[in-house]
Structure 1
Amino acid sequence: MTGGLTSPEAEKERGLDLMNQSSFSTSNCLSSAEEKQTETSGLRPSSQRCFNRLNLCFQVNESFKQNSHIWDLGEIERGIPAGWSAVSGACNFAEELRHVTSRYHGSYLRALNACLELRKRSFLFLLLCGVAYLHLKESDRRDLIIVCFCQLLNFVFDLEHPSAAELSEMYERNNCNVAQGLAWSYYVGYLKFILPGLKDRIREFNQSNSHLLNCEKTWKLHILIPLSCDVCDDLQTVDSHIHFIKNLPELNMDVAGIKKRSYKNSIYGILGENKEKHFCVMEYATPLRSLFAMSQDESAAFSYQDRLEQAKLFCRALEEILQRSKYCSGCYRLIVYDDSEENDKHFLSKTILRHMEQELQEEYTMDEKYEGSIHNAESNGTQLLISGSDHPMSLHSFGY
């Protein structure tokens, strides 16, 4: 007998106190879980908040039955998203191992940090793992199974998928649309005009220049794409084995209110190791200048790593656009190379000649027309040749 209450009444009073404390704890757990989820993903999807509430309510009900403490479940609930994020990051890391050389310059630590964001989450992840381990030693494993099951349902039904507004904000904040925009602008504002009639202008040039470009297999626009985005105005300053010869006949078109706008393309001679000169139409991909300028401007918030990733995405996007184009088939060749750590002063001329030799060795005319999915199409399309690494691929890792 305590405070005038019988034993059953005392038990009832303690049950009400437990319920009030649990409700208060549930609110705190819910708030903490949502804050932790926001810190982890940077998003606040309403579906995630609903699932958090359902998970916690179900756990509170079980805790009443077992007369356990809600704080155990709250700690587990906060630890599960971090644990699931770690598993997903490990799967992404397994995928990125294929591209360590091309994307991370051979650094496995940089690849791991890109998948798990160790700098931001390492302390939080270790803390939550420690708390979860201490509580699981003394708690019922069924609670953990329930929480994991709810988290799996969340993943399977993609309830954490951000809304269109949130995606737009992410892309704008991280400059994710830069490469695609530059690639499309380069195509619709330039390549789509000059590539269809390029071979006719080369024929016209040959008639008055003793058939200087005598090999028809190299009658293409060779587009130089350095991943450093360092575009020079004079190619001879980059490599003394490259010399300007002449310009092709001008292409004049009425564009955007400009009457007879002039487009020019230049012919260069490349000196080989045997002192023999090879000739081709060649130029840099001019949009790379924009990427380089953005990385030099503090207001753009565009780092070196951002520039490298966007340069690779630009290559990928431009290749896909040109493969789909029915106007540009067989009229271009993308020469992608990494010159950031290259000490050979004739590296560029050797890279260009290697591409030209590959063109001469091809037995069939390359079909660069897009048919269905580019990953499944059977064609002899132009391949990106990157010196010392594999081809640039999409930076997106699929979910696991």
Structure 2
Amino acid sequence: MDVLIGENGVVPRPRSKLPVICAAVLGGFTLLCAWLLDSDRFIEKVVIMIFCFIAETCIHSMCLFAEEWLFHAKQRYHGRISSIFQSCFRTHALLGLCVIFLMLMLSGVSISHDQWSTMAIMCAVYLLLKSLGILGPAPVEISEICEVRKMNVAHGLAWSFYFGYLKFMLPDLQKKVTRYTATGERLSSPRLHILLPLNAAVPSKPEEEDTNVVFYNNLPELELDRAGVRKRSYKNSIYKISGQNNEIYHCVLEYATPLETLYKMSHESNAEFGERERKQQVLLFYRTLSQILENSLECRNHYRLVLLNDEHTGDPHYLSREIIQHLQQQNGEIYMDPVQELPQDRAVHPVPEEGPMRNFYAAVGGPISEEPLSSIPTLMFSEPRSLRSEPVETTDDYIQQNPRGF
């Protein structure tokens, strides 16, 4: 994956299981304290409380089932009661309720009138607090659910950007770059640089953001039949970037067009999409797109994601500096090219032996090459030989008597 300069301080990491671990530890510690305070009927109380909590969940699921069955059965579930049941009830909760109920009945535990009254009050209070939204998930929990289940706006935009454009455009980029450089032109990088501003403001022309980034040329077009449009044209633009020391770079770059959707949503009142949510979605869009492209073998090493910080007001050449920094970082990267055969005039010699093995080869009259080893790695193959070969004497006495006998 491309390592973005300074991305660790900007792009959020996926959430861990720390809240679950902390809750489990605190729950276990609280149960231990309760057991120390009253160990006589501790097991019985725990079982009754678990039964009560599961019963509350099942009663709330019945309320959800009533809504879905009465008003949404045909439109959402095509009249299938089983689908409604699976959507409203948790299977493990129903199983747990049955198991604990059987345990209470078979163990002979007698539940007093006060205990039944307490359980009824707990269920009622739970339903009231649930209906008022007090026991609802916290915003952090909602965000985690959306990220884990890929339900955010950014997830859909990233996948749409990949399938609708990058998946077929990036594999063809190398061919277009080769055709372009065959005309005598050159590029500082063969990759497509995708610009992702944090504020999601996508200008029509990069020159509007930085006068040091100027349009230079277009790569050869790619024509495909897409969604009923015959020979739809896709093109990439080459820009000339001027540095502070008058150095000139040429690279293929463009803004991530889905970010324009996020920007317009944040300015639409009906979308209920504020600036804070917009920035979070941009960062999530970057992280999701990075994972998608990294896992795509056909797109790997053909792109570069450039995340642009929107807190650079007052710097008119921020964009050119960021692009040049990424171009310079790419100069130190190593590309794994396929193994090629070496020309005849660049033969590879074996490494000369040192120490006792050198003296041994000298004793038996073997040649010792003093020429340096070629710096280009290659694969060495020996002549095919049978696995059933004759035994060879290698003892020291035999070697001294027959120094050239093998």
Q: How high is the TM-score relative to the length of structure 1?
A: 0.51
Alignment of 1:267 onto 2:238? yes
Change (3 A) 1:115 1:264: closer
- Segments of structure 1 that go 5 or more residues without pairing to the other structure are 1-25, 90-112, 118-166, 368-400
Pick from 147, 165, 168: which aligns with 1:190?
165
Aligned to 2:178: 203
- Partner-residue secondary structure (3-state), 2:230: strand
The one-letter code matched in structure 1 to 2:175 is: D
Alignment of 1:344 onto 2:315? yes
> Which is worse superposed, 187-196 or 263-272?
187-196
Change (3 A) 1:254 1:64: closer
How far is 1:310 from its partner? 2.8
1:140-159 to 2 correspondences below 5 Å: none
Pick from 252, 265, 287: which aligns with 1:316?
287
Change (3 A) 1:274 1:50: same
Change (3 A) 1:35 1:74: same
How far is 1:196 from its partner? 1.9
* Aligned residues of 1:242 and 1:268 also touching (Cα < 8 A): yes
* Aligned residues of 2:238 and 2:252 also touching (Cα < 8 A): yes
How far is 1:283 from its partner? 0.2
* Aligned residues of 1:330 and 1:365 also touching (Cα < 8 A): no
> Which is worse superposed, 292-301 or 237-246?
292-301
Identity across aligned pairs (percent)?
Answer: 33
In structure 1, distance between residues paired with 2:176 and 2:332 = 24
How far is 1:233 from its partner? 0.5
Pick from 127, 130, 140: which aligns with 1:115?
140
1:1-400 to 2 correspondences below 5 Å: 34=59, 44-45=88-89, 47=91, 48=93, 65=111, 68-73=114-119, 114-115=139-140, 176-208=151-183, 210-213=184-187, 215=188, 218-339=189-310, 343-365=314-336
* Aligned residues of 1:269 and 1:279 also touching (Cα < 8 A): yes
Q: How high is the TM-score relative to the length of structure 2?
A: 0.50
The one-letter code matched in structure 2 to 1:211 is: E
How far is 1:246 from its partner? 1.4
- Runs (4+) off by over 6 Å: 29-33, 36-39, 52-63
* Aligned residues of 2:201 and 2:260 also touching (Cα < 8 A): yes
Q: How large is the Cα RMSD of the aligned pairs? A: 4.6
How far is 1:46 from its partner? 5.1
Aligned to 1:373: none
- Partner-residue secondary structure (3-state), 1:240: coil
Change (3 A) 1:234 1:38: farther
* Aligned residues of 1:228 and 1:340 also touching (Cα < 8 A): no
- Segments of structure 2 that go 5 or more residues without pairing to the other structure are 1-50, 65-86, 339-406
> Which is worse superposed, 291-300 or 175-184?
175-184
Deviations 1:85-131 (A, max 9, x none): x9xx9xxxxxxxxxxxxxxxxxxxxxxx74379xxxxxxxxxxxxxx
In structure 2, distance between residues paired with 1:346 and 1:62 = 80
- Partner-residue secondary structure (3-state), 2:297: coil
Deviations 1:28-73 (A, max 9, x none): x96799559999xxx9535547767987998999996566454544
* Aligned residues of 2:170 and 2:303 also touching (Cα < 8 A): yes
